[in-house]
Homo-oligomer: A and B are copies of this chain.
Amino acid sequence: MKQKITLKQIAKELDVSISTVSKALKDSEEISIDTREKIKAFAKFYNYKPNNIALSLKNKKTKTIGVIIPEIVHHFFTTVIGGVEKIANEKGYNVIICSSNNSFDKEVINMEMLASGSADGFILSVAKETQLKKDYHHIQETINQGMPVVLFDRVIDELVCDKVIIDDAKGAQTATNHLLSLGCKNIAILTTVDYISVGKLRTRGYFRALRGFDIEEKEELVLKIEDIDNCESEIDEFLKNKNVDGIFAVNELFAVTAAKILNKQNKKVPQDVAVVAFTDGILSKHFIPSLTTISQHGENMGERAAMLLIDKLEDDETVAEEYRTVIIDTSLVERQSTKKAD
Binds B, one of A15-23, A138-146, A197-205, A307-315: A138-146
Nearest B-chain residue to A57, judged by Cβ: B53
- The yes or no answer to A128 lying at the interface (CB within 8 A) is no
- The yes or no answer to A215 lying at the interface (CB within 8 A) is no
Number of copies: 2
- The yes or no answer to A272 lying at the interface (CB within 8 A) is no
Fill in one digit per residue for A102-143: 1 if any B CB lies within 8 Å of its CB, else 0. Answer: 000010000011011110000000000000000000000100
Q: Are A117 and B82 in contact (CB under 8 A)?
A: no
Taken together as a complex, chains A and B put the C-alpha atoms of A115 and B53 apart, in Å, by: 11
Q: Are A53 and B49 in contact (CB under 8 A)?
A: no
A117 interface neighbour in B52, B101, B116, Cβ under 8 Å: B52
Taken together as a complex, chains A and B put the C-alpha atoms of A259 and B287 apart, in Å, by: 11
- The yes or no answer to A268 lying at the interface (CB within 8 A) is no
Contacts A1-B146, A253-B286, A286-B287 supplied; 9 other A-B pairs, CB < 8 Å: A2-B144, A3-B146, A49-B116, A51-B117, A52-B118, A53-B53, A53-B62, A94-B98, A94-B118
A residues apposed to B, CB below 8 Å:
1-4, 47, 49-57, 62, 64, 72-75, 78-79, 81-82, 85, 89, 94-99, 101, 106, 112-113, 115-118, 141, 144-146, 253, 256-257, 259-260, 263, 282-283, 286-288
- List 12 A-B residue pairs with CB atoms under 8 Å apart, sorted by A's residue number: A1-B144, A4-B115, A53-B118, A73-B79, A74-B78, A75-B75, A82-B99, A95-B97, A95-B98, A96-B96, A259-B288, A283-B283
